[in-house]
Structure 1
Amino acid sequence: MSKVIIPITPVYGHVAPMLSIAKDLIRRGHEVTIITGSIFKEAVEKTGAAFVSFTGAADWKPEELLDPERLALEGPTQVNYDLQRYFVSAIPSQYVALQQELEKYGDDQAIVMAESFGFSISPALHGAPGVRAKGYIVVGVIPLAISSIDAAPFGMGLEPDSSEEGRARNIELNGLMKNTVFGDAQKLYEMVLTDLGATGEIPYLLDSCIRADSYLQLSVEELSYKRSDLPESVRFIGALPTPPSVDAKLPVWWSDVLEAKKVVVVTQGTVANGDFSYLIEPTLEALADLPVLVIAATGSKNEVKNIPANARVADFIPFVDLLPHTNVLVTNGGFGGTQQALSFGVPMVLAGISEDKIEGNARTAHTGAAINLKTQSPTPEAIREAVLNVLNKPEFLANAQRLKAEYAALDPYTAIANVVAELDAK
C-alpha cells in the first residue's frame, strides 16, 4: 500500500478528475490524502480520502473566476491574469500545506500527485528545503502546456509547424510568451520560488512540471501535436472513463432523446455558465427551425430565455447517458468535456477562448473532429453553419470515431496505478 498526497487547485475542472483518480487508488488499497479548497470537503470525503483544506491565498473560491476585472480580459491576457492571481500567488500557502502533510510521514515515505497547474510541487522540484516525497507525479488535466520546438507556445492557439521556418517561429514565439505575454506571471513565479528557497535557474513556469518523475497526460498524443522533443517523462494515458449515472435522474422528456433522428447538445461548461447569451441561447436560436432535437445542459439554475419547440433544457444530464445519442456537441471547450465527447466519438462545434480553451479548441479542431469558431460569443448564423457542416460532412464523424478508438485502447487508471507502484518500489 502506498501513501499518496494529492494537492488540487480548487476549481471543478481540476478537482473532478483528480477525485476520480483518488477513488480508484483507494479501491486498489492505497492511502490517499487530498489537499484542496475548503468548499470541496464533502466531495473529497465521499471518495474515502482524508481531506485537508488549503488556507490563505490557496483557498480561493471558483466564483472568483467571475470577477468582472477578469472577465474583461480575453485569451492570453486573461491566462496571464489567472496565473498570477490564482496559481502563482497561491504557491507559498500550497507548499506549506503540502509540507505539513509530508512531515506526518517523513522523507521518501509518501508520493505526491499534482495536477498540471498544481504548482504546489514546484518549490520541491527546484530545490526548496523541506520534507521530500518518495516521488512526484503530475496528471495533465488541461491541454499539455510545455514548450516545444515543433509548436507555438501554449495559449496562442496556433497550428503546429515543424519545418525549419516553423521552428524558428516557434522559438521566437516561445521567448515572446515567456518574457512578454506571460512575463509578469514568470517574474512573480521566479520571485516566489526564490523566496521559498529554490536553487539554480528557474525555468519557464509552464515547463517546470516536466521535472516531476512522471507526467501523465489525460489525452491522446494527437491532442498535443506530434513533438520531436517530447520529454521522456511524458506519457499520454487517454481519458478517464465517464462514470455511470447511479444517482442521477433522467428528465421526464428523455423519450424525446431516444426517438430523435438527430440530437445536438449545447453546454457552456461548469465555470463560464453565468450568462447563457454567450453560447446556449444563440445555439437555440440558430437551430430552432432545423429537424433536430436540441438539448441545453446548463450546469446551473439560471434561466434560459426563448426556448424553441425543438429544444429541451436541464441543469444536469449525465453525459454517459446523453453522449451515445448525440450527433454534435456545441461547447465552449472545457478540456474534460471535449475529452468525454471524443472518447464517445462525438464531433463538436467549439466556441470558447477563456482559460485553456483557446489552446484546447485549436488542437481539437486540428484533429478534424471539430470546428473551432474562435470566439466565446458566436452569432447564431455562425453556429448554424458550423452545426450543419458537422452534420452533413462525414469526415467530422469519421475523425471523431478514429479518436474514439485511440481512447478505447488506453487505460488511464491502470497507467496511473502502475506509476504509483513503480515509485513506491524505488
Structure 2
Amino acid sequence: MTKIIVAAAPATGHFTPVRAVAQDLVNRGHDVTLTSGSQFRAAAEATGARFVPLHGIADFAADDEEKNFPEMADIPPGPERLGFGVRNTFVRPMPDQHRTLQALLAEAGDEPVALVHELAFMGAWPVRLGAPGLSPATVIGLGVVPLSLSSEDLAPFGLGQPPDDSPEGKVRNRAANRFFREEVFATTQQYLVDVLASVGATREPPFVIDGLVTLPDRFLQLSVQGVDYPRGDLPPSVRYVGAPPPVTTRKGPLPEWWQDVLDARTVVVVSQGTAANKDFDDLVQPTLDALADLDALVVATLGRPARLDRVPANARVAEFIPFGELLPHADVLVSNGGFGGVQQALSSGVPLVLAGLTEDKMEVNARAAWTGAAIDLAVQRPARADIARAVRTVLTDPSYRYRAARLAEEYARHDPFDAIEESVLELVAASASTPGR
C-alpha cells in the first residue's frame, strides 16, 4: 500500500477525472488523500479516499470565473483571456495550495508520499523551485486539457491554429511562441515570479504554460496521441495514457422517455457540459431550434436544473444522463468542446459538431476537427443554419464516423488507471533508491 495525495483545482472539469483516479487508487488498496475545493466533499468522500479541503483562497468555486472575476467578462476569448484565467485560477491560489500540501506531507512523517495532481494544481511548484518545505517522493502531473507545451512545430497554445512543421512553419512558430512568452503572457509570467517569491522560491520558474507539463517528474496526458498534434520535441517525461471511461453512475432513474432513445433510428446529443452552461442560448437552444425538422431524436443534457424556452417535438431534455449510458446510442454529439466530454465521445466512436471559444475549448475543438472526426464551427454562438448543415454533414458523410471509430480503437489500447499506478510505484521506488531524496 502506497500513501498518495491526489489534488485538483476546484473546477468540475479538473476535479472529475481526478476523482476517478482517486477512486481507482482506493480500489487498488492504496492510502489516498484527495484534496480540492470543499464543494466537492461529498463526491470526494464517496470514493473512499480521505478528503481534505484546500486552505484559504485556494478553496473557491473555479467554475464561476465571471462571478469570481467580473472584469473577465470584458475580455474577449483568446490569449489575453487565457492569461487572465491562468493568473487568477492557477497561480493566485498557489500559496494556499502549497500550505495544504505541506500540512499533508508533515502528517506523513518519514513515510514516502506520491503526489498525483491535475495540471492546474500548482501547489508543488514552490518547493520544486527552492522554497523551504517538504517534498513528495514523486510528483506526477495529469493532463486534463489539450497538451499546452510549447513546440517549434506548433503555434502557441490558445490560438487554435493547426500544426505546421515545414521550415517556414517552424520560423512562424518560433516567432509566435517568443511573442507569446515575452508580450502576451509577460504580465502572467511576472505575476508567477512574484507569487513564488512570496513563498520563498529561489529559482527562476519556467514559462508558466510549459511548467505545467515539465515540472512534474512524469506527466500523463489523459488522452491519446491521435487526438493531439504531432511534435518532434516532446519530452520523454510526457506520456499519452488514454482517457477515463465515460461516467455510468447515476443518482436516479433514467428519464421516463428513455425508450425513445432505444427506439430511435438516429440520435443527436447536445450538451454544454457542466461548467460553461450558464447560457443555453450559446449552443443548446440553437441546436434544438436548428434540428427541429430533422428526422432524428435530439437529446439535450443540461448539466444543471433548468427549463428551456422551446423544446421541439423531436427533442427530449434532461438535467443529466451519464455519457456511459447515452453515448452508445448517439450518432453525433453537438458540444461546446469541454475536454472531458470530447474525449468521452471520441473514445466511444461518436463524431462531433463543436462550437466554443472560452477556456481551452478553442484548442480542444481545433484538435478534434484536425483528426477528421469532428466539424469545428469555431464560434462561441453558432447560427442555426450552420449547426443544421454541420450535423447533416456528419450524419451523411461516413468519414467522420470512420475517423471516430479509429480513434476509439486507439483509446481502447490504453488503460490510464494502470498507467497511473505503474508510474506511482515505479517513481516512488526510484526515489527510495536515490540518495538525497
- TM tier, shorter chain? over 0.9
Secondary structure of residue in 2 paired with 1:32: strand
* Equivalence for 1:71: 73
- For residues 340 and 361 of structure 2, the distance between their equivalents in structure 1, rounded to whole angstroms, comes to 11
* Equivalence for 1:297: 301
- For residues 246 and 80 of structure 1, the distance between their equivalents in structure 2, rounded to whole angstroms, comes to 36
- What stretches of structure 1 of length at least 5 have no aligned partner? none
Deviations 1:51-94 (A, max 9, x none): 11112221111453242432333222221111111211111111
* Per-residue deviation, 1:123: 1.5
* Equivalence for 1:36: 36
- For residues 312 and 40 of structure 1, the distance between their equivalents in structure 2, rounded to whole angstroms, comes to 29
Q: CA RMSD in A?
A: 1.3
* Equivalence for 1:412: 416
Contact residue 154 and residue 170 of structure 2 kept, 8 A: yes
Secondary structure of residue in 1 paired with 2:123: helix
Is 1:47 aligned to residue 51 of structure 2? no
Deviations 1:395-414 (A, max 9, x none): 11110001000000101100
Contact residue 108 and residue 132 of structure 1 kept, 8 A: no
Contact residue 106 and residue 132 of structure 1 kept, 8 A: no
What amino acid does structure 2 have at the position aligned with 1:404? A
Deviating more after overlay: 76-85 vs 91-100: 76-85
Deviating more after overlay: 334-343 vs 145-154: 145-154
- For residues 374 and 208 of structure 2, the distance between their equivalents in structure 1, rounded to whole angstroms, comes to 30
Deviations 1:226-280 (A, max 9, x none): 1110000000001101243364411111111111111110001111111111100
* Equivalence for 2:435: none
* Equivalence for 1:346: 350
Q: Structure 1's 55 and 200: CA in aligned 2 closer, same or farther, altered over 3 A?
A: closer
Secondary structure of residue in 2 paired with 1:423: helix
* Per-residue deviation, 1:424: 2.3
* Equivalence for 1:83: 86
* Equivalence for 1:122: 125
What amino acid does structure 2 have at the position aligned with 1:332? N
Secondary structure of residue in 2 paired with 1:425: helix
After the TM superposition, which residues 264-343 of structure 1 pair with which residues of structure 2 at under 5 Å, given as runs?
264-343=268-347
What amino acid does structure 2 have at the position aligned with 1:353? L
What amino acid does structure 1 have at the position aligned with 2:380? Q
Contact residue 62 and residue 89 of structure 2 kept, 8 A: no
What amino acid does structure 1 have at the position aligned with 2:367? R
- For residues 169 and 111 of structure 2, the distance between their equivalents in structure 1, rounded to whole angstroms, comes to 43
Identity within the alignment, %: 47
- For residues 163 and 428 of structure 2, the distance between their equivalents in structure 1, rounded to whole angstroms, comes to 37
Contact residue 141 and residue 336 of structure 1 kept, 8 A: yes
After the TM superposition, which residues 159-174 of structure 1 pair with which residues of structure 2 at under 5 Å, given as runs?
159-174=162-177
* Per-residue deviation, 1:223: 2.1
- For residues 116 and 370 of structure 2, the distance between their equivalents in structure 1, rounded to whole angstroms, comes to 30
* Equivalence for 1:392: 396
- For residues 166 and 102 of structure 2, the distance between their equivalents in structure 1, rounded to whole angstroms, comes to 45
* Equivalence for 2:204: 201
* Equivalence for 1:26: 26
Contact residue 107 and residue 134 of structure 1 kept, 8 A: no
Secondary structure of residue in 2 paired with 1:257: helix
* Equivalence for 2:182: 179
Instruction: Say which of 355, 359, 380 aligns to 1:355.
Output: 359
Contact residue 107 and residue 132 of structure 1 kept, 8 A: no
* Equivalence for 1:212: 216
What amino acid does structure 2 have at the position aligned with 1:380? R
* Per-residue deviation, 1:217: 0.3
- For residues 427 and 2 of structure 2, the distance between their equivalents in structure 1, rounded to whole angstroms, comes to 9
Contact residue 226 and residue 410 of structure 2 kept, 8 A: no
Q: Could you tell me the TM-score, scaled by structure 1's length?
A: 0.97
Deviating more after overlay: 345-354 vs 122-131: 122-131
- For residues 416 and 31 of structure 2, the distance between their equivalents in structure 1, rounded to whole angstroms, comes to 19
- For residues 229 and 387 of structure 1, the distance between their equivalents in structure 2, rounded to whole angstroms, comes to 36
* Equivalence for 1:260: 264
Secondary structure of residue in 1 paired with 2:108: coil
- For residues 299 and 247 of structure 1, the distance between their equivalents in structure 2, rounded to whole angstroms, comes to 13
- For residues 219 and 45 of structure 2, the distance between their equivalents in structure 1, rounded to whole angstroms, comes to 26
Q: How many residues align?
A: 426
- For residues 98 and 21 of structure 1, the distance between their equivalents in structure 2, rounded to whole angstroms, comes to 18
